[in-house]
Structure 1
Amino acid sequence: MEQLRTIGRELAMGSQGGFGQSKEFLDLVKSIGEARSKAEEDRIVLSEIETLKRRIIEPDIPKRKMKEFIIRLVYVEMLGHDASFGYIHAVKMTHDDNILIKRTGYLAVTLFLDENHDLIILIVNTIQKDLKSDNYLVVCAALNAVCRLINEETIPAVLPQVVELVNHPKEAVRKKAIMALHRFYQRSPSSVSHLVSNFRKKLSDNDPSVMGATLCPLYDLITVDANSYKDLVVSFVSILKQVAEHRLPKSYDYHQMPAPYIQIKLLKILALLGTGDKQASEHMYTVVNDITRKADTSSNIGNAVLYECVCCAAAIYPNPKLMETASSTISRFLKQSDSHNLRYMGIDALSRLIKLNPDIAEQHQLAVIDCLEDRDDTLKRKTFELLYRMTKSSNVEVIVDRTIDYMISINDSYYKTEIASRCVELAEQYAPSNQWFIQTMNKVFEHAGDLVNRKVVHNLMHLIAEGFGEDDDAVDSQLRLSAVSVLDHFLFT
């Protein structure tokens, strides 16, 4: 709610800066900010709605005043109330010749309407006209509306104009045209299937923002059919290298990271193209390894790029040097005891790497087990899943013992049942001795109680009856006594 109030204040200041004083709106924002309850806030907003209903239909309203009314309607909807009575006035504003009024109208309709709203048909002709405007700001406003409001049925009405704008002199227009085509692909892939070459060409656009926008539709296309884009591997690697080496304008830096969102998207694309393809992956090893080693770990965005590097390394054809670098990165994540998010990233990244090389898990085993002690429940659940997959005969004792301790600490019966089942499964598969197996089963029965599957109990009783295969009858008898004492308590209390 505080975020909505902040946006409202910004809208108010924007209205004030555009056409002069807007005291009524400022007073509205102030009164809502000072409301002491939701009921009081609703009362203020409902009063505002009644005022707008009355005033918005007055004859000969000045444009600047109508603009203010529409902005106030936007604020009303942001606070969760219905402002549909004013939608038609926002649509009318998109027809205005004044660029500030037109852009306000487009902003409002993209917030008010969805692609299936009945009023969409009233602005399609306006969008078609504005896409041909000589003023690139008008064209950009129309393209914004295209991305938000054009549905599968209306795509053919604007598609030819959008395709022409892909080669517009202004980079902002080219970028938004690519975004519109991407939206068309998401809505109706067949409608733009013949335009894939446009995305390929714009990958080499002189403006980085256009190139960055092109990565989004290419990623979707590669997700569906990676083989058709293998020829672009070298291009993607070259672009990633240029970005990582700070060859893009300084304005693309974020927290001193060079165009991190472009890097992340490129790494995702390379992960798709390199999966199971040794030849394609060989082009990627150097640049991914360099980015992983040089990434700044002092910021969240730097860690996000690092995480994506590890995911890429785990997805493409394995490379020992790259795997080693990725393993070191995971170690840094897991050691961040003050950050649940980074430790979660480390657990997730490690779960990807062990699919390629299970031995990597050994060097991180203690750090992973320590994550079960974290206060964050999501992290503990992710850790439990990873530990289950890491378990083998050499570490089953420590992992199962700590997992049982974790099981004891939770109250969710459904989840507790799952953990108990996994502990039984691991004990049956990897038990180093009968003595440990019996002790472990006793612990599970003691702390999980009726949550343990009865079939497990009867299987264990059958095993006790047949004996444990010990050479020493005395040892066999002692194990039976130990097991029966607990099972007797479990079954008959």
Structure 2
Amino acid sequence: MSEIAYTLVYDSNPASKVSVAEFRTLLEKGRDESKIDAMKQILVAMLDGNPMPDLLMHVIRYVMPSKNKELKKLLYFYWEIVSKHDEQGKLRQEMILVCNAIQRDLQHPNEYIRGNTLRFLTKLHEPELLEQLVPSARACLEHRHAYVRKYAIFAIYSIYQVSDHLIPDAAEIINDFLVTETDPTCKRNAFISLGNLDHEAALRYIQDSISNLSDADPLLQLAFIEFIRRDKSTELRSRYVALLTELLDANSNTVVYEAAHSLTLLSSNASVISQAASKFIELAIKEADNNIKLIVLEKIHEIHVANPGVLEDLTLDILRILSCQDIDIRSKAISIALELVSSRNVDEIIKLFKKELQKSVNDSYDKSTQYRGVLISAIHQTAIKFGQVAGGVVDLLLDFLPELSSSSESDILGFVKEVIEKFPELRSSILARLVGALSQVRSGKIYRGVLWIIGEYALEEKEIQSVWKQIRESIGEVPIVQSEQRLHLAGEDGQSEESTAAVSSKPVVLADGTYATESALTSDNKKKLSKDDTSRPPLRHFILTGDFYTAAILASTFVKLVLRLEEITDADVKVLNALKAEGLLILVSILRAGQSSIVAKQIDEDSAERILTAITYIAEGKKSKLLEVAFLEATRDAFKSQVQEREQKKALKDADELLKHSHAVDEVVSFRQLSKAQPKSVNDEDLTAATGVKVEEDLSSRLKKIVQLTGFSDPVYAEAYVKTHQFDVVLDVLLVNQTTETLKNLHVDFATLGDLKVIDKPTTQNIPPHGFFKISTTIKVTSADTGVIFGNIVYDGGHGAESRVVILNDVHVDIMDYIKPAKCNEAKFRSMWNEFEWENKINIKSTLPSLKDYFVAVLEGTNMSNLTPGAVIGEECQFLSANLYSKSSFGEDALANLCVEKKGEFITGHVRIRAKGQGLALSLGDRVAGLSKKGTGIKLDKV
């Protein structure tokens, strides 16, 4: 009852304006249907800022006598918003007639008219009018219909709140009503009112009702819970906890939710918190609505954050929610479980994750691929945190490696890399499993990842020979060109060797519009290789389909294996030379195949150069220490540094979480009221949460947000202070009349471009000569696109002249207020980069002194975070490439890739920005382009 309620009214046609005279005509001569339409328009106009006091008597004469129920309902809306006092602040004489009509409606035989009238009394705040209505309102407490009685209770309470001398015994009346009432809604309303009027009487009623609490109506149970939550008496807390614990077994899920939530607020006892969390988990499992499930899961997470370690025994119960098919609910449950996992329950959680992963492989659910990715990521995090389960987890994931999608395989490989680096005792078994899986891998990306792991961690001679044998089988027969031609010729049935060799040719049109000649042999091979041919070994299939990046990685792996085998002192020289010769044969065969017509795509220059370099290194052997460092130490050290950096970040994060819930015994208690200067370490959010009053920002920051709307020589000077909230912009406009005349009917009309919408319209005012006036308007923001607010000031001209207009300057909404830095992993970044269709490429030319300065300027100017690990730029660095990411307040993702280099005194390059919507990509692009122009000091020689 103490909360303020608002009614939102939508004007479907704001341009149409009906005069007061037309409204009078509609009310005088119209039928009830036309009067209903007229009253609706009158209500919208009044809420829009036009009070129309001249219509009051017409409404009394022509609308109030009507018996139409819809019109009577609109009439009470009109009484609610109409001004009841004159210009001197006295009650208007017409309201006496209104009061008599309200009194008649309070005695109306129709219960719905009575109830609607009583509901209106709760919004009436004039004691002069309420004084005459008190007897009728009290009489409604004994009405036979519950619809009347439930509003009569609130009417009595509201009248007492307005003026307690009108009903001095309101608490006694409500208490007596509560004892004798049987309707649940009326009892709920009566208890709420009694709790606000007489705290002790409400407590006595709760004590009298404890024996029948479980059988009480859910509405009354919810009222009890709300009363307990608002009660501040600490001496009754234990009794309240016992009462709420009993309500946890109620039949209504709403009551159970509110009781569990109130328990977490009242008590910090571990058993009580655990009991409340168990009820939340039951609700999340039983409820069918996915939104309710997410809300309950969020509540469980809040309990864990406020009470760390208490919910550890409920981890498996939380994971029962995985039976739901919604991916968001599953992800939320798994993320909560990962925070609760410990050495005591890690084995059971890993077993559950394994079962879910096995089920997801055969699941036909459309989000099963995404769910597998979530499970693999969860298993990854758990195994890295608890090394005792890493071995079994790796074996399971490698079993699924050929069956999962490419995104899931990438996650598995990332996990295997980290495990094989952190746990040396598992390397030999993991390498054996990876080598065995090579023959089944059909993804070039996954094959490259496996080759990198093999090249870095195959350290023993036995392992190197086993790897080499498997790679040799994956290549197939060499030389590749001759064997493929022989297979093609053998497949030509009914043709002689001569006729097959004389292949025909035909002209084809290339992508650029030119003509070229294509042989039938090449065309047939391309048709064959365009299909997923599983008959060929994996590496051979990659080469014939034009995946020479994988071939280049294979060449680097050969070099690593040969160099490492040369390091082994007891290695057989004959075996080493045989491997070298075989490696050279394979690489030369790949080069020849890449330059022939049997492949779907010719080899690129970069891959050919890398393969030729590898051939040189293998032929010459280990002659340079630098070569050994580059192939055997550099890449592994780089990966090791990445793993260590992730561990350091995780340790810092865990330390920060620990500090949030710990306090030093000698920590100084800071009293804001006693300190002369407020230290920056004091958290203003605590003060805001406690008082509900936001800490005011300093004057200098306010001055920066002031925008001049008109010129100093205009008749009306205007300036606006732009305040940005989470989803709206508030303009506080100061208007100054710079003329010697009174500006009549002055109003400001605002309009917008972009995803902006004007919510409220400023009122019309008369401004005296040299007078000041302030108005405020709210602009709703629906996306992080660039928006423009424009408008004009309109006021009446003198002596019947037309209205005069002053055009306002445009106000550009700064999108940086809605864009915040965010973090995501590399896999998610690449997935979004491929998914987003809007790209904005900005060419860069800046004169900032270094790449580091430009990089910092881009991060600060776009509110984006750096996702590239180890992007520390030294003075000697002349090239920079980094990925950036941010998220708007509306959930929009923004990606950026920065590629710049230092050429002389200029920094050149480009920034590519991708987003789901065009507006965000263009807005951020304009921001980056502005930063580049701002940093340049280029002098123009010609225009």
Query: With structure 1 as the length reference, what TM-score do the two structures score?
Result: 0.52
Post-superposition shift, 1:188?
A: 2.4
- Which string of whole-angstrom CA distances, capped at 9 and with x for unpartnered residues, describes residues 198-217 of structure 1? 1112223xx412x6414324
Indicate the residue corresponding to 1:389 in structure 2. Answer: 823
Aligned residue among 767, 772, 783 for 1:377: 783
Indicate the residue corresponding to 2:314 in structure 1. Answer: 283
1:349-428 to 2 correspondence within 5 Å? 377=783, 385=820, 388-390=822-824, 420=861, 422-423=863-864
- Which string of whole-angstrom CA distances, capped at 9 and with x for unpartnered residues, describes residues 389-447 of structure 1? 33789979x99xx9x97899xxxxxxx99852644877896258944439999xxxxxx
Distance (Å, rounded) in 1 between the aligned partners of 2:235 and 2:34: 45
Check if 1:218 corresponds to 2:642: no
Check if 1:143 corresponds to 2:586: no
Indicate the residue corresponding to 2:847 in structure 1. Answer: none
- Maintained 8 Å contact 1:288/1:309: yes
* Letter aligned with residue 490 of structure 1: T
Q: Return 5+ residue gaps in structure 2 as ranges.
A: 1-5, 11-31, 61-74, 80-94, 361-365, 371-377, 386-406, 412-754, 756-780, 786-814, 843-856, 885-899, 910-931
Indicate the residue corresponding to 1:208 in structure 2. Answer: 251
Post-superposition shift, 1:105?
A: 0.8
Distance (Å, rounded) in 2 between the aligned partners of 1:104 and 1:406: 60
Distance (Å, rounded) in 2 between the aligned partners of 1:76 and 1:38: 22
* Partner SS state of residue 389, structure 1: coil
Post-superposition shift, 1:243?
A: 7.3
* Partner SS state of residue 483, structure 1: strand
Distance (Å, rounded) in 2 between the aligned partners of 1:216 and 1:275: 18
Indicate the residue corresponding to 1:450 in structure 2. Answer: none
* Letter aligned with residue 871 of structure 2: Y
Change (3 A) 1:126 1:314: farther
* Partner SS state of residue 284, structure 1: helix
Change (3 A) 1:232 1:489: closer
* Letter aligned with residue 315 of structure 2: M
Check if 1:39 corresponds to 2:45: yes
Instruction: State which structure, 1 or 2, has the greater radius of gyration over its C-alpha atoms.
Output: 2
Change (3 A) 1:171 1:394: closer
Post-superposition shift, 1:160?
A: 1.0
Post-superposition shift, 1:128?
A: 1.4
Post-superposition shift, 1:237?
A: 3.2
Compare the two structures and name the one with the higher strand fraction. Answer: 2
Indicate the residue corresponding to 1:483 in structure 2. Answer: 907
Check if 1:294 corresponds to 2:340: no
Distance (Å, rounded) in 1 between the aligned partners of 2:300 and 2:34: 47
* Partner SS state of residue 179, structure 2: coil
* Letter aligned with residue 482 of structure 1: F
* Partner SS state of residue 142, structure 2: coil
Post-superposition shift, 1:197?
A: 0.9
Distance (Å, rounded) in 1 between the aligned partners of 2:227 and 2:34: 36
Distance (Å, rounded) in 2 between the aligned partners of 1:406 and 1:353: 37
Change (3 A) 1:333 1:393: closer
* Letter aligned with residue 141 of structure 1: C
- Maintained 8 Å contact 1:114/1:148: no
Indicate the residue corresponding to 1:272 in structure 2. Answer: 303
* Letter aligned with residue 162 of structure 1: I
Higher relative contact order, structure no. (Cα contacts within 8 Å, ≥ 6 residues apart): 1
- Maintained 8 Å contact 2:137/2:152: yes
* Partner SS state of residue 102, structure 1: helix
- Maintained 8 Å contact 1:74/1:108: yes
Change (3 A) 1:382 1:355: farther
Compare the two structures and name the one with the higher helix fraction. Answer: 1
- Maintained 8 Å contact 1:178/1:214: no
1:21-420 to 2 correspondence within 5 Å? 30-31=36-37, 35=41, 38-39=44-45, 47=60, 48=75, 49=79, 50=95, 52-57=98-103, 62=107, 64=109, 68=113, 71-72=116-117, 74=119, 85-86=129-130, 89=134, 92-93=138-139, 95-96=141-142, 98-100=144-146, 101-108=148-155, 118=164, 122-133=169-180, 135-137=181-183, 140-147=185-192, 150-151=195-196, 154-168=198-212, 171-173=215-217, 176-190=220-234, 192-195=236-239, 196-204=241-249, 207-209=250-252, 212-223=254-265, 225-226=267-268, 228-230=269-271, 233=274, 236-237=277-278, 240-241=281-282, 244=285, 257=288, 261=292, 264-265=295-296, 268-269=299-300, 272-273=303-304, 280-285=311-316, 287-295=317-325, 309=333, 312-313=336-337, 316-317=340-341, 377=783, 385=820, 388-390=822-824, 420=861
Query: With structure 2 as the length reference, what TM-score do the two structures score?
Result: 0.31
Post-superposition shift, 1:176?
A: 1.4
Q: Return 5+ residue gaps in structure 1 as ranges.
A: 6-25, 247-252, 298-302, 336-351, 364-373, 409-415, 442-474
- Which string of whole-angstrom CA distances, capped at 9 and with x for unpartnered residues, describes residues 75-121 of structure 1? 6988xx978745954852564364533223125567x5797874786
Identity among equivalent positions (%) equals: 9
Post-superposition shift, 1:260?
A: 7.4
Change (3 A) 1:236 1:225: closer
Aligned length: 376
* Partner SS state of residue 180, structure 1: helix
Change (3 A) 1:166 1:29: farther
